[in-house]
Amino acid sequence: MRAFISISKPLVFSLLLLSTGALAADVDEDEFAPSPFTDYGEFNQEAEEEAEARFFQHGRFFGVSVGLGMEAVSGNRGVLWQGGFPTFDLKLHYWFDFNVALDLGFYTSPHFYKTDAGGLGSVDANMTWVGVDLKYYVDTKNLSAPISFANPYLLLGAGGYTKTETSLLQGQPDPDTSVGLSGGLGIEFPIKHRAMYFSLESKIHLVHFRDTNTDDFLAENVTPHLDNLSGQFYTLSGSLLFTW
């Protein structure tokens, strides 16, 4: 019996050492197992570097576009104003990556109208805009081939709008400048990859001018008879875009 006990104690001690070592190994493995807390926290630098390398190799950096289109007006101002063609626009483009771009733009559009209010008679009304657009190109890699080829994008912008009205009878221009917002969408068709594109763009412009709430057109002998000049501006343009 004593011999059995003397033999069993070393055996039990050895088993305890082995089990302790296995537990320590398990603890060490758990401590160094991948987790959100043990991974390197710089948002996966390898993926970012790969994306940047792809952009420098296949992306666009700068661009210039020249466009032609039309501007329409809604609401009461649209009842009064006519014209809106041709609308000329010019833009400078800068791409941050494949999906985000910034545009600095300018456009001008001629309008006209005729009224008895204030003895104005025939009036030329010219609209100009200078502002900035932030564009987001939709990721089309999982969409159909025609959509991917069209390269669609969304945009949000802000800028200064100047409305200059000149009465042909009075000959005195009346400029009115206001800050407004714009939003829209567009598509780009490649003509030559990374060099030339054709783009179609549609925008709505939200702007409030000084004469928006005017009551000059409420008199009985004035045509058209309008209680204000509310309304929004809409532009549609096609442009040639040159990039490098």
Q: What is the pLDDT of residues 83-126, one digit of tens each?
A: 999 999 999 999 999 999 999 999 999 999 999 887 888 999 99
User: Which residues, other chains included, contact 23 with Cβ-Cβ below 8 Å and sequence gap of 6+?
Assistant: none
Does some domain include residue 142? yes
The domain in which residue 151 lies consists of 60-243
Per-residue pLDDT tens digits for 62-72 = 999 999 999 99
Instruction: Identify the CA nearest to 90 among candidates 74, 72, 109.
Output: 109
pLDDT at 199 over 80: yes
Does some domain include residue 84? yes
Q: Which runs of E-coded beta strand occur in 35-151?
A: 62-73, 82-83, 87-95, 100-115, 121-137
pLDDT at 167 over 60: yes
Does some domain include residue 6? no
218: domain CATH number is: 2.40.160.20
Does some domain include residue 67? yes
Does some domain include residue 143? yes
Average pLDDT, whole number, for the chain?
Answer: 84
Question: Which H helix or E strand runs over 190?
Answer: strand 173-192
Alpha-carbon span 183 to 189, nearest angstrom: 20
pTM above 0.85, yes or no: no
Res 110: pLDDT: 98
* DSSP label at residue 175: E
Res 4: pLDDT: 43
Does some domain include residue 208? yes
Number of domains in the chain: 1
Structure tokens at 204: 């709505």
Does some domain include residue 167? yes
Does some domain include residue 15? no
Question: If you count them, how many residues does the chain have?
Answer: 244
Res 5: pLDDT: 45
How many CA atoms lie within 13 Å of 243's alpha carbon, on the beta-carbon side? 24
Single-letter residue type at 126: N
* DSSP label at residue 118: G
